[in-house]
Amino acid sequence: MGKGDKKTRRGKIVRGTYGVLRPRKKRKAAVKTETASTTKKKK
């Protein structure tokens, strides 16, 4: 169990692969920006 082991977290890091023991980081949801068409200006 070490750097050469495909099934351990350390082995995944060394090989540069992902799996159950080393899941990919989830991206944060993009923040929606308001456009001119969605925001109405009061007169």
pLDDT given at position 1 = 80
> In the prediction, which pLDDT does 35 show?
64
pLDDT tens figures, 1-43? 889 888 899 999 999 999 888 889 888 877 777 666 656 666 6
Q: Which contiguous run of DSSP H or E holds residue 12?
A: helix 9-15
If one counts every other C-beta atom within 10 angstroms of the C-beta of residue 21, the result is 13
Instruction: Please tell me the predicted confidence (pLDDT) of residue 21.
Output: 87
CA distance 15 to 28: 26
Q: What angle do CA 24, 18, 7 make, to 5 degrees?
A: 135
